[in-house]
Amino acid sequence: MAEMKEGLIYLLGIGQEDLNVLQMTVRALIVYPLGIAMVHVGDKRFLGGIAAFDFLMAIIIGSILSRAISGSAPFLPSIAASFALVLAHRGFASLGFRWDGFAKVVKGSPRRLVREGEILWSEMRKSSIGEEDLRGAARRHGNTLSLEEVSDAFLERNGDISVILARRPAADAPPN
């Protein structure tokens, strides 16, 4: 058991001033899924229309590569860690495509805010979505000023609100 602990300490580079390629790569592969979990704990709305999965990748890669460029981190280990994360991201995306359960864990699930014209206030509260946010989505995506015309609305995985309008009979349609 002690050997396993020592191996893990080495792999993570704990207590070392300079990390090698393997240690930075292992750290990157651990930080990535932990970061996804952290972003999911936060509010979907801060993501600005992109999935947490992609948002986190952009932040981490940008941070690692900027350190490689500025010289505050070793160049080759930084590049190796970045490539490892890009491959992990691609792998997570591929798994999510093939397995919906994994996609829900990594990317989240949509949340229904309106069902058959009724606002689901408990879901609105859970999502920190106010009525004015819903009205804005109805104007933007439903081209309507009236929430009464909204049949269904969802807070999507990327933080956007989608709106489905209730069907209205066409004015010039012949009666059945």
pLDDT at 43: 53
Q: Give CATH for domain 111-165.
A: 3.30.240.20
The string of DSSP letters for 89-145 reads HHHHHHHHHH-HHHHHHHH---EEEEETTEE-HHHHHHHT--HHHHHHHHHHHH--S
Average pLDDT over residues 80-108: 87
| pLDDT one-digit tens code per residue, 5-61 | 999 888 888 888 788 888 888 888 887 787 777 666 655 555 555 777 788 888 888
Question: Which part of the chain has CATH 3.30.240.20?
Answer: 111-165
Confidence at 70, pLDDT banded by 50, 70, 90: low
Helix H, strand E, coil C: the string for 34-50 is HHHHHHHHCCHHHHCCC
pLDDT at 168: 67
Q: What percent of the chain has pLDDT over 70?
A: 86
Q: Which of 81, 78, 83 is nearest to 68 (CA)?
A: 78
Whether pLDDT at 169 is above 70:
no
Whether this prediction's pTM lies above 0.75 is answered by no
CB atoms within 10 A of CB 102: 14
The residue that leads in pLDDT, 148 or 122, is: 122
The residue that leads in pLDDT, 36 or 114, is: 114
